[in-house]
Structure 1
Amino acid sequence: MSASKRDDLVQNALKVFYQGGFHAIGMDRLARETGVSKTAIYKHFRTKEELILATLRLRDEQFRNWLRRRMEALAAEPRDQLLAIFDALAEWIEEPSFRSCMFVKASAEYQEKGHPIHATAAEHKRLLAVHFTEIAQKAGATEPAKLAQQLLIIKEGVIVLAHLNQGNDVAANAKTLAQIVIDEALPEGADRTEQ
């Protein structure tokens, strides 16, 4: 299988797993929905779990790059970029293909913390926290890692509640809560914009 065909397989498998879950999608269905024979899949990936890991790595790269770009496009100042997390989430939640967080689903289906799939899901969340911490530092937070963790908790709550069909205002409500958390975390005189 050529590199481009492998990349196509991973991209298509990502869509199938995201829509249907990991355990629920067998190799026969995966072959049918990706248009790649099981024999061809197994030529490049020894196991289904290896393919799942490849899809998670791709999703991690895609999602973090997308979120970073949206935050930067929606706001110029670091403090406002932290709030823009929730504007970006609102956009994502409104997409017809939205099916919650692929990493939360992966960690729920592969619950042992030492399992590579669980560890890959946890690494995605850690990398988001690192990114949020960097922005919180630029915004002047006295405890940037703590602020980043709080925003990550709010972000995860948005995704779960949106997945459970709690209404379109969940991201807006989360942004209001994030505003309070950010205001508390930034010292007097830190870069604050008028609302």
Structure 2
Amino acid sequence: MDSATARQRALDAAEELFYSRGIQAVGMDAIRTASGVSLKRLYQLFPNKEQLVDAYLERRDLRWRRSLADHVERSAEPAERLLAVFDWLYAWFREPGFRGCAWINGYGELGATSPAVAARARAHKQAFKDYLAELVSAAGLPADTAEHLRLLAEGAMATAGILGDPHAALHARQAAARLVAAEAG
């Protein structure tokens, strides 16, 4: 198996296992078994588990942000795009196996002991905030509206992950709609 295939298989296995069971609960042996990549090859690709975790979070971040942007861009009006963020969250929260935000989960598990995981989680959250700031600017709303919407979205993520209730996104969407209407007022 070539390096690209081995890396892909290792990351696929890591994402499935880390997200469903938790990072600390999954050892490299479990990644080896699930991926079919030998332990020696796994350590050639990722010299330690922290590097594998970082690669998993990075790959998931790119896919997550691309999926969100693709969904949001389907809305024509700038204000609708802001609310489409919450519609996307609702769809995400209803996916089979949804277990909350991977970056919140990863930070909760390893943020105090892994600078790489903490940095990756912060980078993801900053990128999300920056994306919201672009949407807010395009809608002609005050800049601080992005932070307010981010807090609504992050609260929905945490609530949906902990309580298993996807409707947190719809409640946050209602609050976001009120905020956007008031700011556009």
TM-score, L = length of structure 1: 0.88
Unaligned 5+ segments in structure 1 are 189-195
User: Once the 2 structures are TM-superposed, how far is the Cα of residue 112 of structure 1 from its aligned partner?
Assistant: 3.0
Q: 22-31 or 49-58: which moved more?
A: 22-31
CA contact (8 A) 2:156 2:168 kept: yes
Distance 1:94 1:166, change over 3 A: closer
- Separation in structure 1 between the aligned mates of residue 140 and residue 44 of structure 2, nearest angstrom: 51
CA contact (8 A) 2:50 2:114 kept: no
Q: 5-14 or 116-125: which moved more?
A: 5-14
Q: Which amino acid aligns with 1:158?
A: A
CA contact (8 A) 2:10 2:32 kept: no
User: 4+ residue stretches of structure 1 with deviation over 6 A?
Assistant: none
Aligned pair count reads 184
Distance 1:106 1:78, change over 3 A: same
Distance 1:47 1:166, change over 3 A: closer
Aligned residue for 1:136? 136
Aligned residue for 2:59? 58
Aligned residue for 2:37? 36
- Separation in structure 2 between the aligned mates of residue 182 and residue 110 of structure 1, nearest angstrom: 36
Determine what percentage of the aligned residue pairs are the same residue.
31
Distance 1:19 1:63, change over 3 A: same
Q: Which amino acid aligns with 1:128?
A: F
User: Once the 2 structures are TM-superposed, how far is the Cα of residue 114 of structure 1 from its aligned partner?
Assistant: 7.2
CA contact (8 A) 2:13 2:31 kept: no
- Separation in structure 1 between the aligned mates of residue 30 and residue 115 of structure 2, nearest angstrom: 24
TM-score, L = length of structure 2: 0.92
